[in-house]
Structure 1
């Protein structure tokens, strides 16, 4: 795919993509939530309308059409991962897929689940709750990053059921190191490995083969950097593996319709049907397929988007440094190399929640997690919008937090 743009094009007087997001009015808003929810291009609305039209025209014959649209979404994810050797199941949320995956594992034979203290909500909340029910959950500190992979590898043994790790640290936006080493140790010990790539996909180039993760489970979704909206989470899993999740939906039977189980056991679907759930809201697929087409038509590759993101991050950091605010009020990790920072700037502050609320009241949208205020740029924003957002935050700090 050849891009129609150079990274520098996004920093001219007017962002060349902004007109394509007119219904979200991105040119006149300060939307620094690109790491949690990006605006949808106008063409996504065409997908929603097409879904309605297909339903009206085809009625119950619509499912063959929906299947084609769903495959387009899967193809979009495969392209982003450069994955030619895995199956993909779509679902409304990553949580839906992860609990199905956990229900397919052999807890009778192995008991330990390994994770970190820097996971996003889907993994962290569910594993904390399982720990309350007596599951053996080992949580490894993500810092220091330099020794992260080695410390995880040391804990993987013959009792390890699965390792569940985000490719990007939840609080700091740091890209996790050494996932290939963790995969290698999991393979050696017969443990499964799940990588949450939600905060990597379409903002940092990700090649599943070059990353050494061809044998891994990969989960993610479209709500953030892919701009697909809700309802397009995915689970990628290796070919040549068979699973029987205890939590299973009737859509999994599509692969076995017309067959009868000889022992009256529930028949499990194969391939992408393995982790299928129930009836889907197909409008999300139509919207996503049209957005994937849009990105392809515009040549918005992960490589280009990464260049743009790094330049936007530099603008945010420079604007923050120019504020010269006290570090005990707000600061950031200056040791993090630009190549190791993913798609958002994480500012550490004991007042993060307050700053988020104050910014929101002034129509500057960010988010906060514990002691971190997060600014997430997006490719349709211009330099002035980035600078202005940080300047407004600086005004709040000076007026309400500095005495």
Structure 2
């Protein structure tokens, strides 16, 4: 075991940085960790292994590929704190959402309740379904402290599902009260879907700890888990047994291929397999399995990573406040304590896009969403890199005529 300590990650160079030499993280100011993190060098071994297995075994490679998928599930279960979680895997959360939606009885329950703060995957798809005649209700996220309660109040007997994020993708706010929302949804026969993409990794997300055993949980490894593309999941609750998604791939009957099928009736496997898709590129799972191995070797557990992100976000907050930037131009949420934030700092400004481009021109990678400039650290960054990035933001704010 080669555990790293928080002090080793604060120094320059960061103790983890040498393991990310392909991405050159020690030489770059990558404050885009909330969007896309660097991959450890070991990830390349997984991609090479996938090619080698295909070259050696040709179509017989799938046994090894499915074993890699199981390794990915095991890694994800650790970050969900749910050792027995039934997990359907997909290349994107969108394809998993489609399979879920297609399993709902939308004729009997034609209402979907969600928020105005969901990521574009849900925003776009649910809005389009609303255009097509579904009753889609989207609540404002503010005040966040009452969001779960307001969602529960909006979920009536006509509601099929409630969609909500655990950490809001624009603001980094952790949404409280999801366990109580899950209880009320279960009592009313409403499915609760929690988007945990921005929670797993930086927020020590726990399905049992948050009372979400009856919930569906969506997420992926493109961001904080450093798994790259193609590694999304949907946690399927036990009560989903018997659901029959209309959007379904032939892998969903893998467990039943040898059984006799009733003519004209589609068969499904058990557990999460009923939400499986079809033939896919397994390279992403080979890569992800190596990354999870790397995390385990270096003690990058959910609890430890939460400490890392809290330290980094706290440092961002302190350095930004020291800039004394004009609040008319750029500000942050000063009502939410540090423990109420996920893995990035969100700064509100009408010039978010311009600031992002100005920072990029000076070597600082960030991103923006509407009126939010987002600064996302990662475990391989040193304190000095974070300080340098915010100092450059200060230079941009001082030197650019914004009026």
**Normalized against structure 1, the TM-score is what?**
0.97
Task: Give the superposition deviation at 1:177.
Answer: 0.8
2:392 corresponds in structure 1 to 392
Runs of 4+ in 1 over 6 A off after TM superposition: none
The answer to whether structure 1 residue 34 and structure 2 residue 17 are counterparts is: no
2:327 corresponds in structure 1 to 327
Task: Give the superposition deviation at 1:6.
Answer: 2.5
Structure 2 distance, partners of 1:210, 1:384, is: 35
Task: Give the superposition deviation at 1:377.
Answer: 0.1
1:273 corresponds in structure 2 to 273
Alignment of structure 1 residues 128-167 onto 2, 5 Å: 128-167=127-166
2:251 corresponds in structure 1 to 251
Q: Deviations over 1:257-309 (max 9, x none)?
A: 12232242122232232111121111000000000011011111111111111
Question: 3-state DSSP class of the match of 2:385?
Answer: helix
1:215 corresponds in structure 2 to 214
Q: For structure 1, which segment, 357-366 or 375-384, has the greater mean C-alpha deviation from structure 2 after superposition?
A: 357-366
Q: For structure 1, which segment, 66-75 or 248-257, has the greater mean C-alpha deviation from structure 2 after superposition?
A: 248-257
1:286 corresponds in structure 2 to 286
1:230 corresponds in structure 2 to 229
**Normalized against structure 2, the TM-score is what?**
0.97
Alignment of structure 1 residues 104-115 onto 2, 5 Å: 104-115=103-114
Structure 2 distance, partners of 1:362, 1:274, is: 49
Question: 3-state DSSP class of the match of 2:277?
Answer: coil
Structure 2 distance, partners of 1:95, 1:401, is: 41
1:7 corresponds in structure 2 to 6
Structure 2 distance, partners of 1:329, 1:3, is: 45
Q: CA RMSD in A?
A: 1.3
Alignment of structure 1 residues 60-139 onto 2, 5 Å: 60-139=59-138
Structure 2 distance, partners of 1:180, 1:156, is: 15
Structure 2 distance, partners of 1:84, 1:54, is: 29
Question: 3-state DSSP class of the match of 1:226?
Answer: coil
Question: 3-state DSSP class of the match of 1:274?
Answer: helix
2:345 corresponds in structure 1 to 345
Q: Deviations over 1:344-394 (max 9, x none)?
A: 100000000111111122221101000000000000001111111112122
Structure 2 distance, partners of 1:280, 1:13, is: 41
1:356 corresponds in structure 2 to 356
1:170 corresponds in structure 2 to 169
Structure 2 distance, partners of 1:222, 1:171, is: 18
1:239 corresponds in structure 2 to 238
Structure 2 distance, partners of 1:103, 1:50, is: 35
Contact 1:346 1:374 in 2 (8 A): yes
2:23 corresponds in structure 1 to 24
Q: Deviations over 1:3-52 (max 9, x none)?
A: 72332221123210000000100000011110010000000000000101
Contact 2:197 2:220 in 1 (8 A): yes
**Structure 1 pair 284/85, CA: closer, same or farther in 2 (3 Å)?**
same
Structure 1 distance, partners of 2:24, 2:307, is: 24
Q: For structure 1, which segment, 333-342 or 245-254, has the greater mean C-alpha deviation from structure 2 after superposition?
A: 245-254
Count of residues paired in the alignment: 402
Contact 2:86 2:237 in 1 (8 A): yes
Structure 2 distance, partners of 1:335, 1:345, is: 13
Structure 2 distance, partners of 1:287, 1:363, is: 28
Task: Give the superposition deviation at 1:83.
Answer: 1.2
